[in-house]
A and B are shown apart, each in its own frame.
Chain A
Amino acid sequence: MLFFSRTKTILTLACVALSFLLALPNVLPASVRSMLPLFNGPIVLGLDLQGGSHVLLEVDQATLKEQYAKQLIGDIRQALRAQKIPYSGLGRSGDNVSVRITDPSRVDAAMSELRKLVQPINTSLFGGGRATNQYDIRRDGDQIVFSFTPAGLDYKIGRAIEQSLDIVGKRINAIGTTEPIIQRQGVDRILVQVPGLQDPSRLKDLLGQTAKLQFRLLCDSQPTSATDRPPADCEALPDQKQPNQTFWVQTSSRATVDGEDLNDAQPAFDSRNNEPIVSFRFNQQGALKFGQLTRDNVGRPFAIVLDNKVVSAPRINEPILGGSGQISGRFSTQEATDLAIVLRSGALPARLSIVEERSVGPSLGSDSIRAGIVASIIGLVTVLLFMIVCYGLFGFFAVIALVVHLIMVLGIMSFFGITLTLPGIAGLVLDMGIAVDSNVLVYERIREEMKLGRSVIGAIETGFRMAFGTIFDSNVTTLIAAVVLFGLGSGPIRGFAVTLALGILTTIFTAFTLTRLIVGTWIRIARPKVVPL
């Protein structure tokens, strides 16, 4: 039990040496690190330690549904008109879109025509080539009702998330942060983690707008007071800077050019008055549409609309055929830069709302690191002293095991890039207390065996053997709690679960190998007559 084979000894020592090597980058300055052939860099600090923002975004399902309903209504209208089937009451209510066919003899024809709109979607989730429809279609007297299927809705939300991930990534990269994390979470959410951000409000501004840009003709008449109702084919949109002021803009699609055909957008300065502006360039298709709109409406004012707010309403002085233009709107330099970013990265398919935000400023982060280091050192020293005072030489052995155990945890975390958070540091300190437990169990058992009158080697050997079952059982239960915690946790809490679990695993390792090796070697060298316990 106590005497290790050569292979086992070498393996144990190799494990210890390897973890020292893995943990080494944490104590070396960057200049030395770059010169050495190391496996990994230092430990990754969590957002709560280095400062940064954690933002959880959720796709707004209501606007998404509204958008798809709108699209479906357009398709239905087109299909029925093409077949010259008379209808009325085409509209949306809740999750349904319904239409009344006014000629009873044509209901069947309408039904078969509209059925073509119900495209099947192939989701791998349902496998086996079984397709589900995006909509359910049913007939109710002279009414035809479309409703979203759950699978169809999920499919669309999934597509919207995929698109949004890309766009969110572009926007965040544009503000030049280091190593942001952008990932899908659950069905309809996106997790964004940006380290080292001084002011999260800019990030939130960038992500909070859909950035749907439109160029729309103004109506001939404009409101004279806030209570005026817009005429048919017009809608009232507020000014971006002064929400009380509204513009009436035309709703027809012929009077609108969408900004999704933009090729590029850059912040710039107006050469006449040095005001910040955003200059943009259309792609070929957009240039064509924009050219047509401006050519047909020279002399008339149009509105540049961003997310249903009017940025500015200039007059078309001449046809703009080159496909480039500029937006001015009393911007600050920062606003112009950010507008260019969101336009360049494209419009989000739907509004993303911030359902959770946790931002830590750099000052708190560095305070936390300092507090964590101080607490760790004081905790370590107290536990070490306690062990030596209570167990003498064997306490010193426990101290070696404890230090190795800590270095192993740090080494493993550095190698696998596991993030260290403030609760993670708490987990490390708690680990110190728990780690000595295995030594305590062994030592107390040795004391008992000595009382029973066993020889030195007999007592130590039995002590180790009898304590191992207990060490194993008691650590597995803590490990179960740590794993559950990991499953539940988000961010910092997860960091705690990880250090706790790693600590338990390395404790078991040091107890089963290192401590035994040390005690065995000591017996061989010192040949003790009594156990100093």
Chain B
Amino acid sequence: MRFKPLRFIPESAGIHFMHAARYGFFGSSILIVATIIIYVAIGLNFGIDFRGGTLMEIRTQGPADLAALRDKLASLELGSGVELQEFGAPTDVLIRLPTQNDEKLQQASVQKVRQALGPGIDYRRTETVGPKVSGELARGGVIAVLVAIILVMIYLWFRFEWQFAVGAAASLVHDVALTIGLFVVLQLDFDLSIIAAILTIVGYSLNDTVVVYDRVRENLRRYKQMTLPDLIDLSLNETLPRTIMTSLSVLLALLALYFFGGEVIRGFTFTMIWGVIVGTYSSIYIAAPFLIFTGVSTGGQTDRTKAAATAEAARP
């Protein structure tokens, strides 16, 4: 094969990431605080998984007349919160019914809608979540994200030093917060699949962070005299080609899913795409500079890393 492989990043970019780190840090902190404020002020648009209620996806023969459908459903008096929305195609409509606070009434409301809409409609999907289950799902979602972060911190603490675990956790909190912030701003449906997406973002962002940390650890052993900011800059520059390559290939796969994977998982893929971008950013501008704040020791290493370094050197 005689053609020259394509390079996105010059051999040694020599970017001074840590010069900009304080601005990145500052900006991210503002965004996180802003997220908390709008979360409290506006709140998430919870989907039926967490709020309870019914979701129906229907397909009409010919383009759907949303206004007529809305009138038909309004006469049923199912309470406020009956929503209709076109879903991917002019014939497809997504109907949301509010929670009825009683499982029996909830089922009855689905029957009422079916009767009101009459024949000739393809019910592509019906999802009903009762009030009890929605509460459990919400609790489970929050617990899952917390458990994931804690387990990963423990793993990193064992494999690295506690400073690394703290830095990784900080970047995870950053990723999760900004993802939630995006959902508050755009008022997209926040349901169980988004929790799944967030957990995957947690996994992906960590993947990125660990690669950088791994290089930092290696360079800490190699360059004992270098200052920490320079050492981190060096490590980031060394891993930058890989970071770009992997992020691009994951993004390519996700874009294929976003455009061709169908309407049902679009929200999920959208979250993942956002997460890859945020996660890549946070590995560089949150996780790495956090090592400076928590003060990973450069010269006087702890006994454990020293032992590891000797073991490394002794290897043939």
Contact = CB atoms under 8 A, between A and B. Distances in A.
Q: Do A and B bind each other?
A: yes
Interface of A: 48, 56, 58, 200-201, 204, 208, 353-361, 363-364, 367-368, 371-372, 374-376, 378-379, 382-383, 386-387, 389-393, 395-396, 422-423, 425-426, 429-430, 432-434, 436-437, 440-441, 444, 447-448, 451, 466, 469-470, 473-482, 484-485, 487-490, 492-493, 496-497, 500, 532-533
Leading 3 A-B pairs by shortest Cβ distance: A433-B250, A371-B262, A481-B203
A490 B136 CA distance: 12
Given A382-B252, A473-B214, 16 more contacts: A358-B127, A363-B122, A363-B124, A375-B257, A382-B255, A390-B5, A390-B7, A391-B5, A393-B1, A430-B200, A432-B249, A437-B207, A474-B210, A481-B148, A481-B199, A481-B200
Contacts of B203: 477-482, 500
Contacts of A533: 5
Interface residues of B, number: 81
B253 A441 contact: no
B316 to A, nearest CB: 11
Contact of A364 (B57, B103, B110, B204): B57
Interface stretch (B150-158, B224-232, B290-298): B150-158
A386 B127 CA distance: 39
B256 interface: yes
Contacts of B210: 470, 473-474, 477
Q: What's the dominant secondary structure at chain B's contact region?
A: helix
Interface string B301-312: 000000000000
B251 interface: yes
Contacts of B111: 201
A387 B249 contact: yes
Contacts of B262: 367-368, 371-372, 375, 422
A454 to B, nearest CB: 16
Interface of B: 1, 3-8, 11, 57, 59, 103-104, 106-107, 110-111, 114, 122-130, 132-133, 140-141, 143-144, 147-148, 151-152, 155-156, 159, 192-193, 195-196, 199-200, 202-204, 206-208, 210-211, 214-215, 218, 238-239, 241-242, 245-246, 248-257, 259-262, 264-265, 268-269, 272
23 contacts: A353-B103, A354-B130, A361-B123, A371-B261, A382-B252, A386-B248, A386-B252, A426-B269, A430-B250, A430-B272, A437-B242, A474-B207, A474-B214, A478-B207, A480-B155, A481-B199, A481-B206, A484-B144, A485-B199, A489-B196, A496-B196, A500-B200, A533-B5
A477 B206 contact: yes
Contacts of A440: 242, 245-246, 249
Nearest to B252: A382
A201 B207 contact: no
B250 A434 contact: yes
B217 to A, nearest CB: 9
A477 B249 contact: no
B132 A58 contact: yes
A485 B253 contact: no
- Max count, chain A CB within 10 A of own CB: residue among B11, B126, B196, B249: B249
A477 B132 contact: no
- Max count, chain A CB within 10 A of own CB: residue among B207, B251, B253: B253
A474 B155 CA distance: 11
A429 B268 CA distance: 13
Nearest to B131: A355
A469 to B, nearest CB: 6
Nearest to A391: B5
Given A201-B111, A353-B104, A359-B125, A532 B1 contact: yes
Contact of A474 (B140, B206, B269): B206
A149 to B, nearest CB: 23
Contacts of A372: 261-262
A477 B260 contact: no
Q: What's the dominant secondary structure at chain A's contact region?
A: helix
A448 B222 CA distance: 15
Contacts of A396: 1
A392 B254 contact: no
A364 B124 contact: yes
Contact of B147 (A387, A437, A484): A484
B11 A423 contact: no
Contacts of A395: 5
B107 A392 contact: no
Nearest to A369: B262
Contacts of A353: 103-104, 130
Contacts of A389: 5-6
A429 B276 CA distance: 14
A401 B11 CA distance: 26
Nearest to B146: A484
A460 B147 CA distance: 39
A201 B152 contact: no
B155 A476 contact: yes
B5 A430 contact: no
B173 to A, nearest CB: 15
A436 B249 contact: yes
Contacts of B248: 386
- Max count, chain A CB within 10 A of own CB: residue among B141, B200, B251: B200
A355 to B, nearest CB: 4
Contact of A361 (B124, B144, B239): B124
Given A356-B129, A389-B5, A470-B210, A444 B245 contact: yes
B207 A475 contact: yes
A354 B253 contact: no
Contacts of B124: 360-361, 363-364, 367
Nearest to A478: B203
A488 B257 contact: no
B40 to A, nearest CB: 25
A430 B197 CA distance: 11
A473 B254 contact: no
B1 to A, nearest CB: 5
B249 A433 contact: yes
